[in-house]
Chains A and B, each alone.
Chain A
C-alpha cells in the first residue's frame, strides 16, 4: 500500500459506500439467494417450498443434460480459446513485422472488438440461413450435407466460428502490445545467434510473450464460458438437442424458461465454484510464474 495515507477521516467510508451498497444489494444478496434457493424444491406454482439439502445438486449435476452441457462447455472453451489465440498471434506477429500500411491493418483487425456478441450472432445466423445465407450454400457445396438446425456437430461449428471471429480482435490488441514490449535489442541479438526466424520466434519471442498469453487464456476462457451467451441465444439457442448449450445457457434456460429455480440455482452455484477456481489459478500462476 501507499507509504503515505490519510487517517481519521470519514471520507473513505463515504467514498467506498456507493460501490459497497450496490454490491451488497445486487451482488451479495442475490448470490446468497441463489445459494439458498439451490437447497429448495419449489412446486409448480411457486407457492410452497421444501428444504431438500443437496437433492437439487445431485439431480442437476449428475443428469445427462448437465453432463452434456458441461462437456460441450469445456470442449467449446478449449477450441475457441486455442483458435482465437492462435489466429490473433499470427496476425499480431505479421502486423508487427510489416512496414507499409501497418496502421491500416491494425485498425482493420482491431475494430471488431466493438461488436456485441448477440450482434455477431445474428449476422452469423443470417450468413448460415438456409434461405439466403451464402455460408450455408458454401458448406453444402463442399458436399458435406450441412445443416446446423439438425446436426449437433454443424451447430457447434457455427457457434465456434462466430465466437472465434468475435474474439480475435481483443487478443490481437494484447498480443501486439506484448510484442512491442519486447526490447528491440534482444530480438537483434537473436538474429545474430539464430538463423531461422521460425526458431527465433519459438525460443525467444514466444517465451517472452508468456505473461500476455496466460492473461489472455484466462480472458478467453471466461469469454467462452459467459459472454458467448449472446451468440448462442441469437443463433442456435442451444439446439439441436442441447448440443450447443453451455453451462451458462443452461442456467438461463432452466431458470427462466423452465422455471426450475432450485435446479437452476444449484447450477449457478456450481458455476460460481468454477469461476472461483479459475480466479485462484489466475492469481496464483500468473502473478507468480511469469515475471522477468
Chain B
C-alpha cells in the first residue's frame, strides 16, 4: 500500500521522438487512478515507466516514497495485468500464479494457500491445473488478475485489460475489478481508451493527450468542469455538442445564431461553444433550433441528431448537434425543434488553444 509520485517525468526515444513531455502527478495510497486518452497518447508508455518496462529519460518516479528510476521491475513491488494477459504458456494456471511467489522464496505451503484463496475469489479454482490454451478469454483474464493479486504488491498496474473481451464480459469484469480494488485497497493505475470504463472505475482520472496530462481530477469534476476542449470532447458520451462561434457585440453568435448571457470574451478570435446533449432542453426557449435528422432509441433514453439551423460553415456544411431526451413522444424527421440551455452549464473554448474561457 503506497502512493506513487511522478515529478517532471519525460521520455524521449533514442531516435529523438518525444513521447512524454513532462508529467507531474501524485497518486494517493489506495486510489484507483485511470489514465485515459486516444491511441498513441502515451498513457501506456507512462504506465510502463512506472512498472520499469520503459526507461525514464528525465524526472523521477517514486513508489512509497522511494525513487525507483534505477530499480528493476521485479524489485519495485508492482504487479501488472497485460492487455493480452501474457500468461506463461507452458505453465498451468497454478504455475502461473505461483511463479512470482516462488521466485521470492516463499515456502510452498504458503504459496499454495495464497493461490487457492485467490483462485476461489476469482472463481478460477476449478481451472488451477489447466493450461492457458485450454481457457477462454475471460478465464485467462482472471488468471492474469490472479497472478497480479497473489503478489500483494504496493501498486497494481492495468494495461487495457478488458479490451480483448466482448462487450458484456467487459461490463462484468469492470465491476469485479472495482470491487476487488476497493476490498484490497491497493493503489492502482489503470490504462484505457474507453471513456466509459474510465468514468466508472476511477477515483480520479487523468486525461492524456499527446504525451501531456490535460487534466486530472475526479470523474464528475472533469465532466462538469473540463479544462480544455480536448477534455470536454473526450469525456462524456454521447460527445459534447461543439458549435463554432464568435463573440461580437456582447453576444455569442454565428450566422443566424445569437446567444446572450456571455461576457468578457475575446472578440477577434474563433471560439467554440460546448453544450452537452443532456444540457439541452426542449421547448424552454429558442436559443438553438435543430432540424431533426436521425433518432436513436436506446430503450431508457433517446438520442436525437440533427443539424443546427442557421449555422453554416465555408463549405456549406451545417454543425451537427445531439439532444438527449427521455421517453416522451418523439418528433418526426425534419421537424424543427426549439432547444434551450442554461448558460451556466455551457463552456466556451478558444478554438486555437482549446483553453477554456468560461
Contact = CB atoms under 8 A, between A and B. Distances in A.
A–B contact (CB under 8 angstroms): yes
Interface of A: 183, 185-186, 188-196, 199, 203-204, 207-208, 210, 292
| A183, A193, A195, A199, most chain B CB atoms within 10 A | A193
B129 to A, nearest CB: 16
A204 B88 CA distance: 7
26 contacts: A183-B86, A185-B82, A185-B83, A186-B87, A186-B89, A188-B53, A188-B73, A189-B82, A189-B88, A190-B99, A191-B52, A191-B72, A192-B51, A192-B73, A192-B74, A192-B78, A192-B100, A193-B74, A194-B74, A194-B99, A194-B103, A203-B99, A204-B88, A207-B90, A292-B89, A292-B90
Given A185-B84, A199-B103, A203-B99, A191 B90 contact: no
Contact of A194 (B80, B87, B100): B100
A186 B103 CA distance: 16
Interface in B39-77: 51-53, 72-75
Interface string B70-112: 0011110011101110111110000000011001000000000
B133 interface: yes
A192 B157 CA distance: 11
Nearest to A204: B88
Contacts of A190: 88, 99
A199 B74 CA distance: 13
Chain A contact residues: over half helix, strand or loop, or mixed? helix
Interface of B: 51-53, 72-75, 78-80, 82-84, 86-90, 99-100, 103, 131, 133, 147, 151
Contacts of A196: 103
Given A199-B103, A292-B133, A191 B74 contact: yes
A292 B78 CA distance: 28
A189 B78 CA distance: 11
Given A190-B88, A196-B103, 4 more contacts: A189-B80, A192-B100, A207-B90, A210-B90
A183 B84 CA distance: 10
B40 to A, nearest CB: 18
Nearest to A185: B86
A195 B100 contact: no
A136 B194 CA distance: 70
Question: Top 5 closest A-B pairs, CB basis?
Answer: A193-B100, A185-B86, A292-B89, A189-B86, A195-B74
A207 B90 CA distance: 7
Chain B contact residues: over half helix, strand or loop, or mixed? loop
A50 to B, nearest CB: 58
A195 B88 contact: no
B164 to A, nearest CB: 12
Nearest to A192: B73
| B83, B88, B100, B147, most chain A CB atoms within 10 A | B88
A2 B87 CA distance: 33
A210 B89 CA distance: 12
Given A208-B89, A292-B90, A192 B99 contact: no
B86 A195 contact: no
A260 B43 CA distance: 76
A207 B131 CA distance: 14
Contacts of B80: 189, 192
Nearest to A291: B133
| A189, A192, A207, A292, most chain B CB atoms within 10 A | A192
A204 B74 CA distance: 15
A189 to B, nearest CB: 4
B55 to A, nearest CB: 12
A189 B99 CA distance: 11
Nearest to A191: B73
A131 B192 CA distance: 72
B84 A195 contact: no
A196 B103 CA distance: 9
B169 to A, nearest CB: 20
Contacts of A210: 90
Contacts of A208: 89-90
B99 A191 contact: no
B293 to A, nearest CB: 44
B74 to A, nearest CB: 4
A269 B90 CA distance: 40
A210 B90 CA distance: 10
Contacts of B82: 185, 188-189
A186 B87 CA distance: 6
Contacts of A186: 86-89
A36 B24 CA distance: 85
A144 B78 CA distance: 56
Contacts of B51: 192
Nearest to B80: A192
A271 to B, nearest CB: 36
A193 B99 contact: yes
A42 B53 CA distance: 73
A292 B90 CA distance: 7
A278 to B, nearest CB: 25
A99 B75 CA distance: 24
A188 B87 CA distance: 11
Contacts of B79: 192
Contacts of B74: 191-195
Contacts of A193: 74, 99-100, 103, 147, 151
Nearest to B95: A203
A194 B89 CA distance: 16
A205 B306 CA distance: 57
A192 B51 CA distance: 8
B88 to A, nearest CB: 6
B91 to A, nearest CB: 8
